[in-house]
A and B are shown apart, each in its own frame.
Chain A
Amino acid sequence: MSKLQVSLYRYNPETDSAPYMQEFQVDTQGRDLMVLDVLHLAKEQDNGLAYRRSCREGVCGSDGMNMNGKNGLACITPLSEVVKGNKLTLRPLPGLPVIRDLVVDMGLFYQQYERIQPYLQNDEPAPAIERLQSPEERDKLDGLYECILCACCSTACPSFWWNPDKFVGPAGLLQSYRFLADSRDMATSERLAELEDPFSVFRCRGIMNCVAVCPKGLNPTRAIGKIREMLLANAT
């Protein structure tokens, strides 16, 4: 009777010439389940349904997907937040090649992450204890280091859809700024030099889809703005 209508994007390259939407009726027993729970129930109906999942609490970033048109994490999105008119449509993250069903090839996304050299660079000999950092300096990393690499932001970004090979994208740039903002990092000018072309940073058009979808409440647009400021200050 009151079963949830779930429309799932299906594609198995071994058997399907093209992707298609498949309808499932999922009995939620009236509970406000998470979208991931609904996927588990659908998988019991069709063993072949493929999606990624791990922590089921919003910290590992495995289950980013497009839910009724908006990117987010299935495991921390309750049905009450996305379902409209008893219908839930689930598609893979947009803009990346689909491997199977809701599983996308994250290769391009990871390449952009690696490109920004996402690790602390400091060639000075390390002290016998930790490097000191004041609470105020450490505060600058809040809102940056929490990124879980779920790709919800970059795959919601039209600039990334258009130039995924040249535009670093919101996730990569957020991490780039995480190191630029770290008082312990010594590679500021090298990092900026790597970004000083028309595409890497400047393809951001301030659309702010990234901010709208980030499941961790982070703000890549603001970080990109800071990088722009640093690049401009460097240029003058």
Chain B
Amino acid sequence: MSTMRSLSFDAIIIGGGGAGLRAALELAKSGKKTAVLSKVFPTRSHTVSAQGGITCAIASADPNDDWRWHMYDTVKGGDYIADQDASEYMCSEGPKAVFELEHMGLPFSRFDNGRIYQRPFGGQSKDFGKGGQAARTCAAADRTGHALLHTLYQNNLKNNTTFLNEWYAVDLVKNANGDVVGCIAMDIETGEVVHVKSKATVMATGGAGRIFASTTNALINTGDGIGMALRAGFPMQDMEMWQFHPTGIYGAGTLVTEGCRGEGGYLVNKDGERFMERYAPNAKDLAGRDVVARSMVMEILEGRGCGEKADHVFLKLDHLGEDVLGKRLPGIVELSKTFAHVDPAKEPIPVVPTCHYMMGGIPTNVHGQAIMQKPDGSDQIVNGLFACGEAACVSVHGANRLGGNSLLDLVVFGRAAGMFIESALNEGIEYLDASESDVAAAMQRITRWNESEGGETVPDLKRELQDIMQTSFGVFREEENMVEGVKRLEELRERIANAYLPDKSNTFNTARVEALELDNLMEVAEATAIAALERKESRGAHSRYDYPDRDDVNWLKHSLYFPAEKRLGKRDVNFAPKTVDMFEPKVRTY
């Protein structure tokens, strides 16, 4: 233990996706000693898979567009548990952050007047829902995430950011006062385990869609930041809120952007009926994602699904013509051919709702500071811990995220966290050093795997976890099934605690990384399961057969999951934006 090497930074950013790279860029420019620690080379992060665009009122498609309309859509889309101060911050700061990306070189598609191309996306309106469909999603064809991530990586190179690429963060290190003062991390290439000390630790570790068997998420989306924070005893917010994207390719799970419907595509059932007209007469296929996903499942459950097993529906694009497909949706044409074996210019794409996004996460304020709760229910800042991007729950997505808002979330709050940390460092941060026993506590888990001598192996346990989540915590939920799911997870936790890592080698040991990831999947799954069971209403993405209605009396609240007691508490939603009147909760229709 005493021979373990240590590294010291002013700030360490865990995760090299959009949020992490945007935070890092801010800090690199400030000259603070910063490093990005990422388990993959940064451009392999899941931001790269984002397709349709970044939603923001830059007033390009419509010169009269207004960020307040975007804020209204965001709050309504989140079924009124998105924090209104955070939504206000994101939507009003958004244009600045998007123009910065363009200035950095992001190759946005363009309108004839040379401005950034914007397309319609789901849940978008003009004039606070009264002015019809808006076109607010800024796009680089259907490769916006790729273009954004590469641009941010390139600008970090330009500003000499320090990268610890292919390093895996294992656990947080807390000092005697409970402040976060760094982490334990492993250099994957050599297997060396290092104590990384820092005054600010930023969780930009992304989502955890791999808790489900069917997901649009990359294989690396294992909720590492959530797992680390839960093991360190910090609460998680709104973990029951998982978005099922309407259009994952049937069988493969790969994403087909909502931009397809934004460009004029629509869903049909086995009779060729455009069924969304029945469920959302106004917005139709561009209703909120939760609404569209539920409608698709209803069609399938009522026997109108497509294919031999009647277990999916079709996304029709052929009427758009090869020009639009080639110009606006070239990546979708590629993906459809590869994973669905159809050419969307000729045939519809078979699609099914697929786990896509974690609305919940580490609760933070708009500066990215992690929050826990005092006994009297008020907020308390966690010293030293920050979060941004999908790992965080600011919350701007509430119970259902709008399409295109995740990329905006990344850059706005990555930037905000970077700016806040810079000024905090300027004012001076001093925390007590971690003691040897503090470090030993953070080493426990990796030591356990390294000393394991027999037991069940990782792939089987992971499959079982994914099966439980898929079976009991999918698009529609109900008590009995979830109780069973929680019970199976409890039992699985015991088995994972005794599981076996056969390969103990040091050099690029991906089996060890997958074992460590499994612990994180377990933490995320259990938090999700307990929160889903305890939230006794239906709101946004959380739909229960046994509690089909929204219950604003009891549940116009964030849920807060406390890992030590496995208890679900509540936290107030913010209804106090600074510059506009708050939006009163209304019945949500599209």
Chain B contacts of A61 at CB under 8 A? 43-44
A184 in contact with B105 (CB, 8 Å): yes
Given A47-B503, A133-B114, A134-B110, residue A54 in contact with residue B508 (CB < 8 A): no
Chain A contacts of B43 at CB under 8 A? 60-61, 148-149
Is the CB of B396 closer than 8 A to any CB of chain A?
no
- Among B133-160, those with CB < 8 Å from A are 140, 143, 146-147, 150-151, 154-155, 157-158
A50 in contact with B510 (CB, 8 Å): yes
A57 in contact with B219 (CB, 8 Å): no
Chain B contacts of A131 at CB under 8 A? 102-103
The smallest beta-carbon distance between A153 and chain B, in angstroms, is: 16
- Among B8-54, those with CB < 8 Å from A are 40-41, 43-46, 48-49
Is the CB of A10 closer than 8 A to any CB of chain B?
no
A14 in contact with B48 (CB, 8 Å): no
A41-75: CB near B (< 8 Å → 1, else 0) gives: 00110011011111111111110000000000000
A120 in contact with B49 (CB, 8 Å): no
Is the CB of A233 closer than 8 A to any CB of chain B?
no
Q: What number of B residues sit within 8 Å (CB to CB) of A?
A: 60
B218 in contact with A118 (CB, 8 Å): no
Chain B contacts of A132 at CB under 8 A? 113-115
Cβ-defined partner of A130 (8 Å) among B40, B115, B146, B254: B115
Which one of B230-238, B331-339, B572-580 contacts A? B331-339
Is the CB of A129 closer than 8 A to any CB of chain B?
yes
Chain A contacts of B116 at CB under 8 A? 130
B338 in contact with A146 (CB, 8 Å): no
B105 in contact with A120 (CB, 8 Å): yes
Is the CB of A15 closer than 8 A to any CB of chain B?
yes
Q: What number of A residues sit within 8 Å (CB to CB) of B?
A: 55
B189 in contact with A126 (CB, 8 Å): no
A135 in contact with B510 (CB, 8 Å): no
The smallest beta-carbon distance between A144 and chain B, in angstroms, is: 9
Is the CB of A138 closer than 8 A to any CB of chain B?
yes
Chain B contacts of A134 at CB under 8 A? 110, 112, 114
Cβ-defined partner of A50 (8 Å) among B109, B112, B501, B509: B509
Chain B contacts of A110 at CB under 8 A? 41
Chain A contacts of B178 at CB under 8 A? none
Q: How far is the CA of A60 from the CA of B508 in the complex (A)?
A: 19
Chain A contacts of B58 at CB under 8 A? 129-130
Given A50-B509, A60-B44, A103-B508, residue A135 in contact with residue B112 (CB < 8 A): yes
A146 in contact with B115 (CB, 8 Å): no
The smallest beta-carbon distance between A87 and chain B, in angstroms, is: 23
Is the CB of B455 closer than 8 A to any CB of chain A?
no
Given A106-B41, A130-B103, A132-B114, residue A54 in contact with residue B108 (CB < 8 A): no
Is the CB of B382 closer than 8 A to any CB of chain A?
no
A100 in contact with B44 (CB, 8 Å): no
Q: How far is the CA of A119 from the CA of B157 in the complex (A)?
A: 8
Is the CB of B511 closer than 8 A to any CB of chain A?
yes
Is the CB of A162 closer than 8 A to any CB of chain B?
no
Cβ-defined partner of B339 (8 Å) among A15, A53, A57, A149: A57
Is the CB of B506 closer than 8 A to any CB of chain A?
yes
Is the CB of A108 closer than 8 A to any CB of chain B?
no
Chain B contacts of A43 at CB under 8 A? 459, 511
Is the CB of B425 closer than 8 A to any CB of chain A?
no
The smallest beta-carbon distance between B16 and chain A, in angstroms, is: 11
Q: How far is the CA of A159 from the CA of B151 in the complex (A)?
A: 28
Q: How far is the CA of A13 from the CA of B507 in the complex (A)?
A: 8
Given A60-B49, A149-B43, residue A50 in contact with residue B218 (CB < 8 A): no
> Quick one: closest B residue to A145, CB to CB?
B107
Q: How far is the CA of A132 from the CA of B114 in the complex (A)?
A: 5
B40 in contact with A138 (CB, 8 Å): no
A57 in contact with B335 (CB, 8 Å): yes
Given A47-B511, A50-B510, A129-B58, residue A119 in contact with residue B505 (CB < 8 A): no
Is the CB of A76 closer than 8 A to any CB of chain B?
yes
Q: How far is the CA of A117 from the CA of B157 in the complex (A)?
A: 8
Q: How far is the CA of A61 from the CA of B150 in the complex (A)?
A: 12
Is the CB of B220 closer than 8 A to any CB of chain A?
yes
B506 in contact with A14 (CB, 8 Å): yes
Cβ-defined partner of A48 (8 Å) among B114, B140, B254, B511: B511
Q: How far is the CA of A61 from the CA of B143 in the complex (A)?
A: 14
B507 in contact with A99 (CB, 8 Å): yes
The smallest beta-carbon distance between A180 and chain B, in angstroms, is: 13
Chain A contacts of B111 at CB under 8 A? 135
Is the CB of A141 closer than 8 A to any CB of chain B?
yes
Q: What residues of chain B have their CB less than 8 Å away from a CB belonging to chain A?
A: 40-41, 43-46, 48-49, 58, 95, 98-99, 102-105, 107-116, 140, 143, 146-147, 150-151, 154-155, 157-158, 189, 218-220, 254-255, 331, 334-335, 338-339, 457-459, 501-503, 505-511
Q: What residues of chain A have their CB less than 8 Å away from a CB belonging to chain B?
A: 12-15, 43-44, 47-48, 50-62, 76, 78, 99-101, 103, 106, 110, 114, 117-120, 122, 126, 128-135, 137-138, 141, 145-146, 148-149, 179, 182, 184-185
Shortest Cβ-Cβ A-B pairs, 8 listed = A120-B105, A132-B114, A119-B154, A130-B102, A48-B503, A60-B44, A100-B508, A126-B103
Extra 10 A-B pairs, beta carbons < 8 Å, given A60-B46, A182-B105: A48-B511, A55-B218, A57-B49, A59-B49, A61-B44, A62-B44, A117-B158, A119-B154, A130-B116, A145-B107
Could you jot down 10 A-B contacts, CB within 8 Å?
A55-B44, A59-B331, A76-B338, A99-B508, A119-B155, A133-B110, A135-B111, A145-B140, A148-B48, A182-B105
